[in-house]
């Protein structure tokens, strides 16, 4: 198994800054916007973006939720190894809000589909957008596309795109793994 680095920590920082600016373009002061990171890995992107927006771009009272979608997945009982649920941290309702769903890698689109269903438990948002750090083209199972993308990657199905964060793996990087 070999791997190739797609993005290093500097690249990721630049991309996160760009994504933050794009969000500000569409959401101004975020007074009616909530960011929702998908557990577990989307939460890292969401927390980083929230930190950037608050510290570098002086956005105040940003609402950030961490949504666990395990119970909403469509592959329950069909996986070889069952997935364990993660903590769900949603301290607000999304009724009438603009929601930005945040994940690290967009692949089949099934997690996002599950997130859309999970969101219904928290009310009817005005609209929902999708932000992903990595968008894998040609691999979608569902008609789902991101509104904000960090980097588009062409990878075939046998390859895996993995994101590591300094919070868990000592450094920020995105790499592609060949079997």
Partner 1 sequence: MSELSVEHLLGIKYLKPSDIDLIFKTADHFKEVINRPIKKVPSLRDITIANLFFENSTRTKLSFELAEKRLSADVINFSASQSSVKKGETLIDTVNNILAMKVDIVVMRHASVGAGVFLSKHVDAKIINAGDGTHEHPTQALLDSYSIREKLGDIKGKKIVIVGDILHSRVALSNIFALQLQGAQVKVCGPTTLIPKYISSLGVTVETNLKKALEWCDVANVLRVQHERMDIKYFPSTREYTQLFGINQKILDNLGKKIVIMHPGPINRGVEITSNVADSNESIILNQVENGVAVRMAVIYLLAQQVKR
Residue 151: Cβ within 10 Å count: 15
Q: Which stretch binds partner 1 (CB under 8 A): 4-12, 17-25, 121-129, 157-165?
A: 121-129
Comparing CB distances to partner 1, the nearer of 10 and 78 is 78
Min dist CB 112 to partner 1, Å, is 16
| Residues in 29-88 that interact with partner 1 by CB under 8 A | 68, 70-73, 76-78, 81-85, 87-88
Helix or strand holding residue 21 (H, E)? helix 9-27
Min dist CB 140 to partner 1, Å, is 22
| Residues in 154-173 that interact with partner 1 by CB under 8 A | none
Report whether the peptide linkage leading into residue 63 is cis, meaning its omega lies within 30 degrees of zero.
no
Min dist CB 134 to partner 1, Å, is 26
Burial class (CB in 10 A: 0-12, 13-18, 19+), 58: exposed
Min dist CB 132 to partner 1, Å, is 24
Q: Which residues lie closer than 8 Å to 78 by C-beta, 6 or more apart?
A: none
Residue 11: Cβ within 10 Å count: 16
Min dist CB 101 to partner 1, Å, is 18
Q: Measuring CA to CA, which residue among 125, 101, 98 is closest to residue 113?
A: 101
Tell me: does residue 103 bind partner 1 (CB under 8 A): no
Plot region of 4 (φ>0 → left; ψ -120 to 50 → alpha; else → beta): beta
Comparing CB distances to partner 1, the nearer of 71 and 178 is 71
Comparing CB distances to partner 1, the nearer of 82 and 154 is 82
Specify which residues 151 forms β-bridges with.
134
Contact set with partner 1 (CB under 8 A): 68, 70-73, 76-78, 81-85, 87-88, 90, 93, 117, 120-123
């Amino acid at each position: 198994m070999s791997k190739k680095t797609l993005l290093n920590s500097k690249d990721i920082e630049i991309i996160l800054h760009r994504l933050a600016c794009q969000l500000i373009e569409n959401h101004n002061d975020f007074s009616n916007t909530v960011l929702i990171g998908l557990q577990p890995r989307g939460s890292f992107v969401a927390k980083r973006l929230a930190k950037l927006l608050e510290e570098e771009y002086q956005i105040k009272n940003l609402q950030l939720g961490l949504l666990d979608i395990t119970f909403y997945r469509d592959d329950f009982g069909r996986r070889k190894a069952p997935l364990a649920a993660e903590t769900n941290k949603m301290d607000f309702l999304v009724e009438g809000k603009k929601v930005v769903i945040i994940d690290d890698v967009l692949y089949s689109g099934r997690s996002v589909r599950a997130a859309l269903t999970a969101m219904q438990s928290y009310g009817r948002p005005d609209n929902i957008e999708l932000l992903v750090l990595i968008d894998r083209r040609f691999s979608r199972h569902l008609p789902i596309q991101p509104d904000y993308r960090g980097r588009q990657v062409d990878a075939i199905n046998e390859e895996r795109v993995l994101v590591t964060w300094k919070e868990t793996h000592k450094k920020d990087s995105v790499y592609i793994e060949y079997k």
